[in-house]
Chains A and B, each alone.
Chain A
Amino acid sequence: MATTENERRATSIERRRLPSMPAFVADYLGMALALAVLLVIFGLAAGNFFTLTNFRTIANQVSDTTIVAVGMTFVLIIAGIDLSVGSVMALAGAVLGTCMVRFGLPLPIAIAACLAAGIVCGLANGLVVTRWRLPPFIVTLGMLEIARGAAHLVTDSQTKYIGSAVGVIAGRGLLIPFIVAVIIVILGQLVLSRTVFGRYIVAVGTNEEAVRLSGIDPRPIKLGVFVLCGFLTAIAAVISTARMEAADPNAGAGLELRAIAAVVIGGTSLMGGRGSVVSSFFGVLIIAVLEAGLSQMGVGEPTKRVITGCVIIAAVILDQYRHRIRKTPKP
């Protein structure tokens, strides 16, 4: 009985936060519009931008970041942060590469080991955060170092070239990584907006103390979110390793910031309690299109970084502005 009551309460919190239907569409419309503007700019500025190969390339490149961004969205919604995703991706990839190259294990077993590595890292993050009530920033910062070091230990600091044995996953122009990423985005959004777990996540991010006082233990929820993030990061590792056909212990450097930037562009609040997986996906696409377009125009790396930084800040300002407009008429 008590649980259903709490569920109802959590649901009503969520319902109040859910924007009305037109605003909901407007949310995505804004992001889609921003993306369209970028596409038009690059279509005019760079040759061969509107080609099938180009979109296929971009689609394949965004898949790993997208999957990590889904996990990051969940973590940010519970007002947490996971700085370890880049290193964990390198470690999971390193495990995959070492299993196949050094021990000659078949692909399915290597993938299982890779996913297990991701889950263990997520579990460690979650357990330390919930058991000692440490800020996730500190804990995952520690994990960032641990996982990176472990990735180098596992591979002996050598890039492992695996070859087409793992490349089959990425396919040739078959877009499998992208399809996997899109499925994960859809599932992630469904979990977030249609399940009890998803509503608890939003509730924990909104007011953890209130959740606890309502008789729901927030710790398993937080633990679950960190494990999920680790698991998704490992899936991203499988995909990126398959795409490169090699496992690099230095892979994923700076991935955490790229993922956080994408999620924040998508309007997810760093303060927790608000966010959308689909919007994060748009955030990833905006950054990817920007990077690919600028590279094609031959813009130098430093300029590219300046422009990307400006776009991130502009996007968040726009998002704030949009939310303020929506809030002001009804105090």
Chain B
Amino acid sequence: MRKHNGIAISVFIFCAATLLVLPTGCKKRQSARPRIALVMKSLANEFFKTMEDGARAHHKQHAGQYDLIAVGIKDELDVAQQIKLVEQMVAQGAGAIVIAPADSKALVPACKRAMDAGVVVINIDNKFDEAVLADKQVSIPFVGPDNRKGARLAGEHLAGKLKAGDEVAIIEGAPNTFNGIQRKLGFEDAMKAAGANIVSSQSGYWEMARANQVVSAILTEHLNLKALLCANDSMALGAVAATKAAGKSDAILIVGFDNISAVQELLKEGGILCTVDQHADKLAVYGIEYALEMLAKEGAPADKETPVDLITAETL
């Protein structure tokens, strides 16, 4: 009896899986339009969710021009999985891959293999490492915002509220990402220019709870802290909670990055001083349009900078 159950269930699961897979497989085989694969980082991250939604909306309007395959990895640190995805997209016969690499270095060889197979590769969001690109002798066009500039904008806005010598701390993103490093550098540029004293710079690995713990510790160690510069908004939320718990909400200014929906209210209330919008919804669209352009005329690849904007309570 129990055995029969088991067989019945496995047969059911197999059938269900086949039914799910078959139609998508057939659809792909029929089309002659160029297929563009959008390979993102974690879809668990609101930023990439917005990016994906933007790409899908664009595809709906231009459905006749290309087919879109949007894929992402489970969490941002799963670099191996993203490499697999790139290989799968090549195997599926994608004409172009628009990729937001989870690691600025580790994804280069996989993309080089894709290019050798004749696939157009466009780099968005997180820029590939120059040295690795040079070593592999490839040039991959980068379409995306200047994160360092964005962070500097936010830092300069903060600097207007600080005096020289004020103590500030930076909550960094994951240390193996280009955009994380760029944002840290941008914050540092602005703080050094303002003569502020950076007393601590630690990683919150992009996460709210992790940042909360790190910020709590920094607040205990540095009693005169005046501001916290966080490399993304999730970490800024964690920082807001930590300053509140320490009873220092009024004394400490907090800066975020990404302009996610959860910080809108806090920006209005003044819980977060400012954030930076790099237009996630447009980012993938720029990449896709650029890919279509390159597929059409095979032009020499050049980088293309997309806008970054400072968001404060006034600009909302």
Chain A residues in the interface with B (C-beta under 8 A) = 46-49, 51, 53-54, 56-57, 60-61, 148, 152, 156-161, 163, 167, 170, 172-173, 240, 243-246, 248-253, 291-292, 295-296, 298, 300-301
Measured between beta carbons, the chain B residues less than 8 angstroms from A167 are 244
Q: Is B137 an interface residue when CB atoms closer than 8 A count as contact? A: no
Q: Is B30 an interface residue when CB atoms closer than 8 A count as contact? A: no
Task: Knowing A295-B214, A296-B220, say if A246 contacts B208 (CB, 8 Å).
Answer: yes
Task: Knowing A246-B262, A301-B202, say if A53 contacts B212 (CB, 8 Å).
Answer: no
B263 lies within 8 A of A161 (CB) = yes
A-B contact pairs, 9 of them (CB 8 A): A53-B247, A158-B49, A243-B241, A245-B241, A245-B244, A248-B237, A250-B208, A296-B218, A296-B221
Task: Knowing A57-B220, A248-B209, say if A158 contacts B244 (CB, 8 Å).
Answer: no
Q: Is B43 an interface residue when CB atoms closer than 8 A count as contact? A: yes
Measured between beta carbons, the chain B residues less than 8 angstroms from A252 are 209
Q: Is B265 an interface residue when CB atoms closer than 8 A count as contact? A: yes
Q: Is B261 an interface residue when CB atoms closer than 8 A count as contact? A: yes
Q: Is B156 an interface residue when CB atoms closer than 8 A count as contact? A: no
Task: Knowing A160-B262, A244-B238, A295-B202, say if A48 contacts B247 (CB, 8 Å).
Answer: no
Q: Is B200 an interface residue when CB atoms closer than 8 A count as contact? A: yes
Tell me the complex Cα distance, A249–B42, Å: 12
Tell me the complex Cα distance, A251–B240, Å: 16
Q: Is B216 an interface residue when CB atoms closer than 8 A count as contact? A: yes
Nearest Cβ on chain B to A143's Cβ, whole angstroms: 16
A173 lies within 8 A of B220 (CB) = no
B220 lies within 8 A of A51 (CB) = yes
| 10 further contact pairs, Cβ within 8 A, besides A250-B75, A292-B217, A300-B203 | A48-B223, A53-B219, A53-B246, A158-B46, A158-B262, A161-B264, A163-B265, A243-B241, A244-B212, A251-B209
A248 lies within 8 A of B245 (CB) = no
Nearest Cβ on chain B to A215's Cβ, whole angstroms: 23
Taking CB atoms and an 8 Å cut-off, the chain B residues in 256-281 that contact chain A are 260-266
Q: Is B166 an interface residue when CB atoms closer than 8 A count as contact? A: no
Closest to A292 in B: B217
Out of B44, B213, B217, B221, name the residue touching A157 (CB < 8 Å).
B44
Tell me the complex Cα distance, A188–B89, Å: 51
B203 lies within 8 A of A301 (CB) = yes
Tell me the complex Cα distance, A173–B243, Å: 12
Nearest Cβ on chain A to B106's Cβ, whole angstroms: 17
Tell me the complex Cα distance, A228–B217, Å: 32
Closest to B209 in A: A251
B246 lies within 8 A of A159 (CB) = no
Nearest Cβ on chain A to B316's Cβ, whole angstroms: 14
Nearest Cβ on chain B to A13's Cβ, whole angstroms: 31
Nearest Cβ on chain B to A115's Cβ, whole angstroms: 21
Task: Knowing A157-B49, A246-B241, A248-B234, say if A54 contacts B263 (CB, 8 Å).
Answer: no
B44 lies within 8 A of A152 (CB) = yes
Nearest Cβ on chain B to A246's Cβ, whole angstroms: 5
Bin the interface of chain B by size.
35 or more
Out of A159, A292, A300, name the residue touching B216 (CB < 8 Å).
A292
Task: Knowing A57-B245, A244-B238, A292-B213, say if A159 contacts B208 (CB, 8 Å).
Answer: yes
Q: Is B309 an interface residue when CB atoms closer than 8 A count as contact? A: no
Closest to B223 in A: A48
Interface centre among B44, B45, B245 (most CB of A within 10 A): B245
Measured between beta carbons, the chain A residues less than 8 angstroms from B75 are 250, 253
Measured between beta carbons, the chain B residues less than 8 angstroms from A298 are 200, 202, 221
Measured between beta carbons, the chain A residues less than 8 angstroms from B128 are none
Measured between beta carbons, the chain A residues less than 8 angstroms from B242 are 57
A61 lies within 8 A of B261 (CB) = no
Out of B205, B244, B261, name the residue touching A301 (CB < 8 Å).
B205
Taking CB atoms and an 8 Å cut-off, the chain B residues in 168-213 that contact chain A are 200, 202-203, 205, 207-209, 212-213
Tell me the complex Cα distance, A61–B75, Å: 24
Out of A54, A158, A253, A292, name the residue touching B260 (CB < 8 Å).
A158
Task: Knowing A159-B46, A301-B205, say if A48 contacts B262 (CB, 8 Å).
Answer: no
Tell me the complex Cα distance, A291–B209, Å: 13
Out of B45, B213, B223, B247, name the residue touching A61 (CB < 8 Å).
B213
Measured between beta carbons, the chain A residues less than 8 angstroms from B263 are 161
Measured between beta carbons, the chain A residues less than 8 angstroms from B45 are 157, 250
Task: Knowing A250-B44, A250-B207, say if A159 contacts B220 (CB, 8 Å).
Answer: no
Closest to B204 in A: A301
Interface centre among A152, A158, A251 (most CB of B within 10 A): A158
Measured between beta carbons, the chain A residues less than 8 angstroms from B213 are 61, 291-292, 295
Tell me the complex Cα distance, A248–B217, Å: 21
Tell me the complex Cα distance, A277–B266, Å: 39
Measured between beta carbons, the chain A residues less than 8 angstroms from B214 are 295
Tell me the complex Cα distance, A110–B219, Å: 32
Tell me the complex Cα distance, A157–B213, Å: 23
Tell me the complex Cα distance, A170–B75, Å: 29
Out of B44, B220, B247, name the residue touching A249 (CB < 8 Å).
B44
Closest to B205 in A: A301
B245 lies within 8 A of A159 (CB) = no
A48 lies within 8 A of B221 (CB) = yes
B266 lies within 8 A of A161 (CB) = yes
